[in-house]
């Protein structure tokens, strides 16, 4: 006969019985629409990489009206502090202000049958709004944490921002950060515990340029890059450790009837293993050097040489949350309490930086459903977002503790 063993008690059961915690959970249950309204307002303030300021000012106001002590640091991170009783310790809840969309992109939000559409609505409108929702729930319930909580609307998460927001934050609060929870996008079905390493390169070719007719036969930087891209793209990459590359932006030339004097392409390399990244980078260098040689060999003899310059424009260090981390236990307990199922994931987010420093960090979604991230068709569906909000709150309190 099988013996029944009691399931270990979930610390969240006790936590949720605290009257103020219960009040905060109830607030989230009945104010999801308020959170969605903030998300729309946030998304409609453009925030291209390196131009996050206006959106940051709006977040600062939201933080202030919800009981946080707000300051903006030297790189533009907006930091709202909720002081705790446990000395210097801080827990960071961060979502990113920046989007991948350039200035001039139409960011007005269309509401279609409850579904919201706009560039950036999910990434990271969902994360920012959820963070604000959790701050408001805590304020409404008069909850006081043991560790101080920093609510951070961070800069520079996307693309060439190169994690400068979280880098500056980890530097400012050096030695004090006990855990980082990054809210990135929607969903409740994953927990990112592995930060993928990435390297980003800018590959530039310059040459003499010239007239399309009279200088025909001069070496062409665009053609050289095209040769390099084709050549590198045949490089095999392993499935294990998963390794990827993407040529994401190509620029060059001035007019259709001129041989360009300059062209460039940006490439993103990612891997679960740093060694693979270095291997790919050396393959890139070989492919483009040989592409430039081929283009020169095809040019009229005596042509001025093309010049190749490859610069590293971004390095994201990788890292992994240990399986016995209290932060992982906190989110697993929250999921168990809420009846939510999630899987462990690997990706490249603000969590990479603390993970690379050995600071416990995860990235999770803010709740609801989203898709089309980094495209103009990006969408968000707030149905069921309460679950995500409560999940963030309970995970946060699980690591920060509640003052009795």
The residues binding Zn ion (CB under 5 A) are 123-124, 184
Which two structure tokens, joined as six digits, stand for 94? 């961060």
Query: Which residue lies nearer to Zn ion by CB, 124 or 381?
Result: 124
Query: Which residue lies nearer to Zn ion by CB, 52 or 124?
Result: 124
Measured from the CB of residue 62, what is the shortest distance to Zn ion in angstroms? 19
Residue number, nearest CB to Zn ion: 123
Report the alpha-carbon distance of residue 319 to residue 374 in Å, rounded. Answer: 24
Q: How far is CA 78 from CA 63, 83, 123, 355, in A?
A: 9, 16, 18, 22
Please, where are the H alpha helices in 215-317? 221-232, 274-298
Sign of the C-alpha dihedral, residues 192, 195, 201, 202? positive
Measured from the CB of residue 157, what is the shortest distance to Zn ion in angstroms? 6
Q: Which residues contact 403 (CB under 8 A, 6 or more apart)?
A: 84, 85, 144, 145, 146
Measured from the CB of residue 150, what is the shortest distance to Zn ion in angstroms? 19
Query: Which residue lies nearer to Zn ion by CB, 184 or 386?
Result: 184
Measured from the CB of residue 96, what is the shortest distance to Zn ion in angstroms? 6
Q: Which helix (H) or strand (E) holds 54?
A: helix 53-65
DSSP string for residues in 153-216 = EES--SGGGTTHHHHHHHHHTTTTEEEEEEE-SS-SSEEEEEEPEEEEEEEEEE---EETTTTT
Measured from the CB of residue 322, what is the shortest distance to Zn ion in angstroms? 24
Measured from the CB of residue 100, what is the shortest distance to Zn ion in angstroms? 8
Measured from the CB of residue 182, what is the shortest distance to Zn ion in angstroms? 9
Which two structure tokens, joined as six digits, stand for 331? 């989110």
Query: Which residue lies nearer to Zn ion by CB, 123 or 378?
Result: 123
Angle (CA) 27-29-32 rounded to 5° is 90
Query: Which residue lies nearer to Zn ion by CB, 95 or 170?
Result: 95
Q: List 151's β-bridge partners, or say none.
A: 80, 93
Report the alpha-carbon distance of residue 199 to residue 215 in Å, rounded. Answer: 37
Measured from the CB of residue 350, what is the shortest distance to Zn ion in angstroms? 8
Query: Which residue lies nearer to Zn ion by CB, 219 or 370?
Result: 370
Measured from the CB of residue 98, what is the shortest distance to Zn ion in angstroms? 8
Query: Which residue lies nearer to Zn ion by CB, 97 or 387?
Result: 97
Place of tokens 């089309």: 372
Q: Which residues contact 88 (CB under 8 A, 6 or more apart)?
A: 175, 176
Query: Which residue lies nearer to Zn ion by CB, 124 or 335?
Result: 124
Query: Which residue lies nearer to Zn ion by CB, 15 or 351?
Result: 351
Report the alpha-carbon distance of residue 3 to residue 202 in Å, rounded. Answer: 63
Which two structure tokens, joined as six digits, stand for 230? 């084709």
Nearest to 335 by CA among 385, 297, 283, 387: 387
């Amino acid at each position: 006969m099988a013996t029944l063993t009691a399931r270990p008690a979930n610390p969240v059961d006790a936590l949720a019985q605290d009257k103020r915690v219960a009040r905060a959970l109830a607030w989230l249950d009945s104010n999801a629409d308020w959170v969605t309204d903030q998300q729309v307002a946030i998304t409609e303030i453009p925030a291209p990489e390196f131009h996050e300021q206006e959106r940051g000012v709006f977040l600062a106001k939201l933080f202030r009206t919800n009981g946080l002590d707000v300051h903006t640091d030297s790189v533009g991170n907006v930091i709202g502090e909720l002081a705790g009783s446990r000395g210097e310790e801080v827990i960071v809840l961060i979502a990113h202000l920046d989007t991948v969309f350039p200035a001039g992109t139409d960011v007005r939000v269309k509401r279609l049958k409850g579904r919201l559409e706009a560039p950036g609505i999910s990434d990271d409108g969902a994360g920012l709004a959820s963070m604000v929702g959790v701050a408001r729930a805590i304020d409404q319930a008069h909850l006081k944490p043991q560790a101080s909580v920093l609510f951070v609307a961070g800069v520079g998460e996307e693309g060439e921002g190169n994690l400068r927001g979280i880098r500056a934050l980890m530097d400012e609060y050096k030695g004090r950060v006990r855990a980082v929870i990054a809210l990135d996008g929607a969903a409740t079905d994953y927990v990112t515990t592995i930060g993928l390493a990435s390297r980003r390169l800018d590959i530039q070719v310059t040459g003499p340029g010239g007239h399309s007719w009279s200088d025909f036969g001069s070496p062409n930087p665009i053609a050289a890059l095209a040769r390099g891209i084709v050549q590198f793209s045949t490089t095999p990459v392993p499935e294990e450790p998963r390794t990827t590359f993407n040529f994401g932006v190509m620029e060059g030339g001035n007019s259709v009837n001129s041989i360009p004097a300059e062209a460039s392409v940006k490439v993103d390399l990612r891997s679960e293993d740093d060694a693979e990244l270095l291997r790919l980078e050396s393959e890139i260098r070989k492919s483009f050097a040989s592409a430039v040689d081929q283009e020169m060999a095809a040019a009229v003899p005596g042509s001025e040489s093309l010049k190749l310059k490859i610069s590293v424009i971004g390095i994201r260090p990788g890292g992994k949350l240990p399986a016995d981390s209290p932060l992982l236990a906190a989110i697993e307990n929250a999921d168990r309490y809420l009846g939510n199922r999630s899987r462990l994931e690997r990706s490249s987010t603000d969590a990479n930086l603390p993970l690379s420093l050995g600071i416990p960090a995860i990235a999770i979604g803010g709740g609801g459903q989203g898709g089309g991230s980094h495209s103009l068709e990006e969408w968000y569906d707030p149905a069921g977002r309460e679950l995500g909000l409560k999940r963030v709150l309970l995970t946060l309190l699980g690591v920060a503790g509640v003052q009795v």
